[in-house]
Amino acid sequence: MAGYRVIPCLLLQQGGLYKTRQFRNPSYVGDPINAVRILNEKEVDELVFLDIDPVRHVRGPDFELIKDITSEAFMPFAYGGGIRTIDQVKRLIELGVEKVVLNSSALEKPELVTEIAATVGASSLVVSLDVRRSLLGQYSVWMRSAEVNTRNNPVDLAVQMERLGAGELLVTSIDRDGMMNGYDLKLVEQVASKVKIPVVANGGAGSVHDLGEGLRAGASAVAAGSLFVYHGKHRAVLINYPNRQVIDTLLEGIQA
Partner 1 sequence: MSKPRVTVLKYGLGNLGSMVNMLMRAGAQVEIAENATDVRSAERLILPGVGAFDAGVMALQTSGVHDVICERAGAGLPILGVCLGMQLLGRASEEGNLGGLGLLDAACVKFDFSGDTELQVPHMGWSTIHARHPSELLDGLLEQSRFYFVHSYHLVCKNKEDVLASSVYGREFNAVVGRENIMGVQFHPEKSHRFGLALLQNFLKL
The footprint of partner 1 (CB under 8 A) covers 1, 40, 43-45, 67, 70-76, 94-96, 98, 121-123, 167
Q: Hey, how many other C-beta atoms are within 10 angstroms of the C-beta on 209?
A: 12
Residue with Cβ nearer partner 1 (146 or 251): 251
Nearest distance in Å: CB 43, partner 1: 5
Nearest distance in Å: CB 149, partner 1: 33
Nearest distance in Å: CB 221, partner 1: 10
Q: How far apart are the C-alpha atoms of 191 and 32, rounded to whole Å?
A: 31
Residues making up the chain, counted from first to last: 256
Nearest distance in Å: CB 9, partner 1: 18
Q: How far apart are the C-alpha atoms of 250 and 205, rounded to whole Å?
A: 15
Q: How far apart are the C-alpha atoms of 228 and 237, rounded to whole Å?
A: 9
End-to-end CA separation in angstroms for the chain: 16
Give Dmax over CA atoms of the chain in angstroms: 46
Residue with Cβ nearer partner 1 (122 or 187): 122
Please confirm, yes or no, whether 53 is among the known catalytic residues. no
Is the C-alpha dihedral spanning 82, 88, 93, 94 positive or negative? negative
Residue with Cβ nearer partner 1 (179 or 254): 254
Residue with Cβ nearer partner 1 (174 or 215): 215
Short-list 181, 172, 159, CA closest to 219: 172
Catalytic residue among 130, 175, 184, 210: 130
Question: Active-site residue numbers?
Answer: 130
